Amino acid sequence: MAVHKLVYDIQEEEESQLLAIHTNMEMDRLAFFMNKHSNVMLAISKKPILVTIQKKTIDFTHFFALDDLEGFRCYLIENQVEMPEEISTPAGLFNNQMVTATYHFLPELKQVPYLFKIEGLDAAAKGEEWVKVLQKIPQIASAYAVAWTQIKNKNYLIFN
């Protein structure tokens, strides 16, 4: 007689949703309008996200909100950082020139100025709600969900 063992293991896996936000606003102003049009209070994080790109450590500013009642966290992340760099050329009229280099948090989404990540149970539904909220803000040109298959390096989007 054979003995069968059934293992019933339920794990609630945390979902996440990534939104792209197109606007010309500064990040703090965007966070203000997002707070104004929703019940979430985004606050600037004291620790920037550090990413190494081309042997340089780049600081990406982000805002964070935690909603214990509904069980989700959200992050507003700048996707583009401009930094002045000095380019030295061999002897000539313009030996050392200052140029502005643009670095992207997610290079796959170079045209997107801001990213909004939602973590928690039922993040996809929250993402749909947030798209509607963001589209009501007149200063935002567009907001939409980003497919995870578009993103090559998901490690940058893991926050602790």
User: DSSP string covering 69-108, please?
Assistant: TTTEEEEEEE-EEEEEEEEE-SSSS-SEEEEEEEEESSGG
pLDDT digits (tens, 9 = 90+) for 47-73: 888 888 888 888 888 899 987 667 788
Cα-trace Rg, the chain: 20
Q: Which residue segment(s) compose the domain that 117 sits in?
A: 15-88+98-157
In a domain, 79, yes or no: yes
In a domain, 82, yes or no: yes
In a domain, 48, yes or no: yes
What global pTM score does this model have? 0.81
In a domain, 10, yes or no: no
Number of compact structural domains in the chain: 1
* Contact yes or no for 67/73 (Cβ under 8 A): yes
* Contact yes or no for 117/16 (Cβ under 8 A): yes
pLDDT band at 91 (very low <50, low <70, confident <90, very high): low
pLDDT at 8 over 80: no
What's the number of CA atoms in the CB half-sphere (13 Å) around residue 108?
A: 12
In a domain, 152, yes or no: yes
Check residue 102 and give its pLDDT: 86
pLDDT digits (tens, 9 = 90+) for 74-88: 999 999 988 887 776
